[in-house]
Amino acid sequence: MRYKFHVLFLVIAISFAGLLSIYRNATVDTNANTVVTVKSGDTLENLSDKYNVFMSVLEHANGKYSDDDLLAGDQIVIPDNNNDAKDDKKVQKQHSTKSNKHHSTSKKQNQSQSSAQSEWNKANAEAKAWISFHESTNSYTAQNGRYYGRYQLDSSYLNGDYSPANQERVAEQYVANRYGSWVNAKQHWVANNWY
């Protein structure tokens, strides 16, 4: 008896999951639409701009009303722009309040991300300047055995081109490959007296 109950419960659970999947997909008519894969950094606003479709139409077609609902790798439907204009206006009107809220949230998130990126860039620039000063007192012609220039790079890395532009380019490459950032390179320098 207990076994039959578990089997019945499992069948109901699987049926419910299947119905839920059908329901989620039933809200989207993909016949005349384009399906795209969400990439990291995509937002409803930039997808709306990129594919020239009202943001509210995009939200409604996919059941996603927040950028938090977008996951990299998700497939979303871009509704065909030839849809009846009345339908677009109707959907636009239905979701205008939600859309305005999400535009505002999206702007704040973008500003926050921009501010964080700006702080990160500033921290890296400061770390780079700190390393340059401690390695060569900012001199592009400083030399210490086989190490040369502002960042005291191994001469073999410079391939005979000791110009400031090449030193900058090679230093950026070296730090990105070895440490990922100037902030990390500085931390290594502080701990080990070299980077």
What are the DSSP calls for 39-77, one per residue? -TT--HHHHHHHTT--HHHHHHHHT--SGGG--TT-EEE
pLDDT in tens, 7-65: 555 556 565 555 555 445 444 444 567 899 989 888 888 888 888 888 888 888 888 88
What architecture is domain 121-192?
Orthogonal Bundle (1.10)
Domain ranges of the chain: 26-97, 121-192
Regarding the domain with residue range 26-97, which homologous superfamily does it belong to in the CATH classification?
LysM domain (3.10.350.10)
Instruction: Pick the more confident residue, 117 or 21.
Output: 117
φ/ψ bin of 163: left (φ > 0), alpha (ψ from -120 to 50), beta (otherwise)? beta
**Residues 157/147, Cβ–Cβ less than 8 Å:** no
Q: Could you give the count of Cα atoms lying within 13 Å of 24 in the half-sphere of its Cβ?
A: 9
- pLDDT band for position 143 (cuts 50, 70, 90): very high
Q: Is the pLDDT of residue 153 over 60?
A: yes
Report the phi/psi class of residue 52: left, alpha or beta, with left for phi > 0 and alpha for psi in -120 to 50: left
- In this predicted model, what pLDDT tens digit does every residue of 73-105 receive, in sequence order? 888 898 876 454 445 555 555 556 666 666 667
Supply the pLDDT for residue 70.
82
Q: To the nearest whole number, what is the mean pLDDT of the chain?
A: 80
Least confident of 36-40, 168-172, 175-179: 36-40
